[in-house]
């Protein structure tokens, strides 16, 4: 029996496990305590003092870190508490760039919420010295504007603890404190992997994605044939931007919206995902049969690929040589489809809609091109797509459900689940099982690789072969997994790694969920559920059953993993030094 502690919060009796904080207990008692620096499981440091409460002592205490004790009497809404919270927020406002009208986080800002909830009626009460920070927009993925930073350190916790990257931190002290990279470097000059987990952790507008909407507009008015492809995870989250509950799939409306935005064809990155499975699983089988480098590690996640290149370059030979699904599809659009439709590839442009900010960097990699043309021209995030839809005046809720364009629009359930951690592994197993055993796979679901455990392991029975697999999400978890392989403690044949915790569904380009909501629901699980239910509803659930894909191979690519496929669909990697810019 767990040791329970009894306390009273605003007159409500509540009983919580020992070790809980006052904030935990208040949530159980349905008492709302405002927070700012607190982000459940990510940042719990009591820095901002917005959550102060009266616990009967001399000083007010931060509810997010103050432990409960037996018989404690907590008051959360006395005039003194409210006054203290207001002052904390007013002091923050005194150094805050209050241009809410043009802020990307307007209407989804935790500081704005606090001002409203706490009744701030003077945003200039403590006017005084302000340090003007220059905006760091040199990275292709992330823009940092410290004029809007509230020093909550949620981004620092995400970068260090979840991602084990740690290229930002608090610099200097007191009034001069700012969150930045060491030695005055821009983010682009560091070993930043571009994952954008700092953006989705930020309560305000200090971090945002590098906007590509204007570049897409220029493509749309360039006279080129502009094709668009959305990633699997986008359809599981886009609806949230239009008020739908977390985990509502909106595939049909998303396709309709993209068509109305003026794209010539709406193809599906899921087709590219099925293509990736065929190439990647074949590569795995070949590596096993030819005693190649094992474990093979997936290469779909560009944040992970850059992390590997930068911090674990000894694992580069283990990375699958497969391009990521949207790059594969881009390459196919500009070759196979160009030929089929009779369009000069140089007059084509491909726009990818991704749950990811690192994809913006990936698309610029010179090796991801064919005949001097990039496979993908521009990448926008789910959030940017939502902005485009809003500014085009499209009423998302009333859109009909439409389907992807042929002949690169079909997909199987295996592709859909790419967006969740373990999904690529599961899809690959659905193919590898049949390829290796020669028998039909009856039970297509591999539940042992699903779920949100940091590192998942399984032994898959493929007849004569027992396949040892592992799945990690969040690069801090990935690092633990790699360390265990490097030390010889663990042996696997196949590993899936996704850069972001939860996989692409909670990527750095996805709709931002406020801290209060993240304390209530598990966003990764809810969005993943949308993908798994879509998988269940698909008539075909194995990538090898994709009919359009079969046509692509028979008409154009030839053999899986063959010469033409290799030329178009595979790539190379480069070892990188995290601080090469300041040698």
Partner 1 sequence: MPDSKEKFELLNQVIEELKDQPGALMPVMQRAQNIFGCVSLDVQKVIAEKLGVTLSEVYGVATFYSQFKLKPAGKYTISVCLGTACYVKGSQKVLDRLSEELNIPVGDTTDDGLFTLQATRCLGACGLAPVMTVNDEVYGCLTPDDIPDILAKYRE
Contact assessment for residue 241 and residue 386, using Cβ atoms and an 8 Å cutoff:
yes
Known catalytic residue at 499:
no
Q: Choose the stretch contacting partner 1; rule: CB under 8 A; options: 8-16, 83-91, 167-175, 363-371.
A: 167-175
CA dist., res. 419 & res. 249, Å (int):
12
CB 76 within 8 A of CB 10: yes
169 binds partner 1 (CB under 8 A): yes
Question: How far, in Å, CA of 355 to CA of 384, rounded?
Answer: 10
Number of residues written out for the chain? 583
Q: Which of 160, 453, 566, 576 binds partner 1 (CB under 8 A)?
A: 160
484 touching partner 1, by CB under 8 A: no
Rounded CA-CA distance 202/521 in Å is: 18
DSSP at 547: H
Tell me which residue of 437, 440, 413 sits closest to 532, measured CA to CA: 413
Annotated catalytic residue, options 362, 378, 426, 496: 362
Q: For partner 1, which residue of 17, 182, 463, 537 counts as binding (CB under 8 A)? A: 182
Q: Report how far apart the first and last C-alpha atoms of the chain are (Å, whole number).
A: 57
From 90, 280, 327, 378, active-site residue: 280
Choose the catalytic residue: 504, 515, 543, 545.
Answer: 504
309 an active-site residue? no
Strands 4-9 and 73-74: parallel
Catalytic residue (choose from 265, 323, 359, 360): 359
Interface with partner 1 by CB under 8 A: which range of 18-26, 72-80, 181-189, 249-257? Answer: 181-189
Cα gap 66→529, rounded to integer Å: 34
Contacts of 419 (CB under 8 A, 6+ apart): 231, 232, 233, 236, 355, 503, 504, 505, 527, 528, 531
Among 155, 167, 199, 425, binds partner 1 (CB under 8 A): 167
- The SS3 assignment for 498 reads strand
Q: Least CB distance from residue 183 to partner 1, whole Å?
A: 6
Q: In what order do the strands lie in the sheet with 73-74?
A: 12-17, 4-9, 73-74
Q: Give the CA distances from residue 100 to residues 113, 123, 148, 517, in Å, rounded to whole numbers and listed in that order.
A: 12, 12, 10, 22
User: Measured from the CB of residue 166, what is the shortest distance to partner 1 in angstroms?
Assistant: 3
Q: Of 80, 127, 131, 170, which lies in the binding site for partner 1, with binding defined by CB under 8 A?
A: 170
Q: How many CB atoms lie within 10 A of CB 390?
A: 13
Q: Please state the closest distance from residue 156 (CB atom) to partner 1, in A.
A: 8
Q: 362 catalytic, yes or no?
A: yes
Give the range of 30-38, 133-141, 295-303, 575-583 binding partner 1 by CB under 8 A.
575-583
Q: Is 158 in the site for partner 1 (CB under 8 A)?
A: no
For partner 1, what does the binding mask look like between residues 115 and 154, x meaning CB under 8 A? ----------------------------------------
Among 17, 83, 183, 517, binds partner 1 (CB under 8 A): 183
Considering the rule CB under 8 A, would residue 175 count as an interface residue with partner 1?
no
Q: Which residues bind partner 1 (CB under 8 A)?
A: 160, 166-173, 181-183, 578-579, 582
> What positions carry a catalytic annotation?
280, 283, 300, 320, 359, 362, 367, 504
């Amino acid at each position: 029996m767990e040791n329970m502690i009894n306390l009273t919060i605003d007159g409500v009796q509540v009983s919580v496990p020992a070790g809980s904080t006052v904030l935990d207990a208040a949530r159980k008692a349905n008492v709302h305590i405002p927070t700012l620096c607190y982000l459940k499981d990510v940042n719990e440091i009591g820095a901002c003092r917005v959550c102060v409460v009266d616990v009967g002592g001399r000083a007010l205490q931060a509810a997010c870190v103050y432990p409960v004790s037996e018989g404690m009497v907590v008051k959360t809404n006395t005039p003194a508490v409210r006054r203290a919270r207001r002052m904390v927020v007013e002091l923050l406002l005194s150094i805050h760039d209050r241009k809410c009208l043009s802020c990307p986080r307007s209407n989804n800002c935790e500081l704005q919420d606090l001002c409203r909830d706490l009744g701030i009626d003077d945003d200039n009460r403590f006017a005084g010295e302000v340090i003007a920070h220059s905006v760091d927009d040199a990275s292709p993925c992330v823009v940092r504007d410290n004029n809007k930073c509230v020093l909550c350190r949620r981004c620092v916790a995400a970068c260090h603890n979840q991602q084990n990257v740690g290229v930002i931190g608090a610099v200097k002290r007191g009034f001069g404190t700012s969150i930045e990279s060491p030695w005055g470097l821009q983010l682009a000059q560091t070993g930043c992997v571009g994952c954008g987990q700092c953006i989705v952790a930020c309560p305000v507008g200090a971090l945002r994605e590098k906007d590509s909407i204007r570049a897409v507009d220029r493509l749309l008015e360039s006279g080129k044939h502009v094709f668009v492809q959305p990633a699997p995870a986008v359809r599981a989250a886009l609806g949230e931007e239009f008020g739908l509950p977390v985990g509502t799939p909106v595939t049909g409306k998303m396709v309709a919206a993209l068509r109305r935005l003026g794209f010539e064809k709406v193809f599906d990155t899921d087709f590219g995902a099925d293509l990736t499975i065929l190439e990647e699983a074949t590569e795995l089988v070949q590596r096993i049969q030819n005693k190649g480098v094992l474990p093979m590690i997936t290469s779909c996640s560009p944040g992970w690929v850059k992390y590997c290149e930068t911090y674990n370059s000894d694992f580069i030979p283990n990375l699958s040589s497969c391009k990521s699904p949207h790059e594969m599809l881009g390459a196919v659009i500009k070759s196979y489809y160009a030929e089929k439709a009779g369009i000069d590839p140089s007059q084509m442009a491909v726009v990818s809609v991704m749950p990811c900010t690192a994809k913006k960097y990936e698309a610029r990699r010179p090796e991801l091109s064919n005949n001097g043309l990039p496979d993908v021209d521009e990448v926008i995030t789910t959030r940017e797509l939502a902005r485009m839809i809003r500014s085009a005046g499209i009423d998302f809720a009333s859109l009909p459900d439409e389907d992807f364009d042929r002949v690169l629009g079909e997909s199987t359930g295996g592709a859909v689940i790419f967006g969740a951690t373990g999904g690529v592994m599961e899809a690959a197993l659905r193919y590898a099982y049949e390829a290796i055993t020669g028998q039909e796979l009856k039970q297509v679901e591999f539940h042992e690789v699903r779920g949100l455990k940091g590192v998942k392991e399984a032994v898959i029975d493929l007849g004569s072969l027992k396949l040892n697999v592992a799945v990690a999400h969040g690069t801090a978890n990935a690092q633990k997994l790699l360390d265990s392989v490097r030390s010889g403690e663990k042996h696997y044949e196949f590993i899936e790694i996704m850069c972001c915790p939860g996989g692409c569904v909670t990527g750095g380009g996805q709709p931002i969920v406020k801290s209060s909501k993240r304390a209530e629901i598990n966003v990764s699980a809810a969005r993943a559920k949308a993908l798994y239910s879509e998988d269940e509803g698909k008539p075909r659930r194995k990538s090898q059953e994709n009919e359009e894909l079969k046509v692509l191979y028979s008409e154009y690519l030839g053999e899986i993993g063959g010469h033409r496929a290799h030329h178009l669909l595979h790539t190379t990697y480069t070892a990188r030094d995290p601080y090469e810019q300041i040698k």
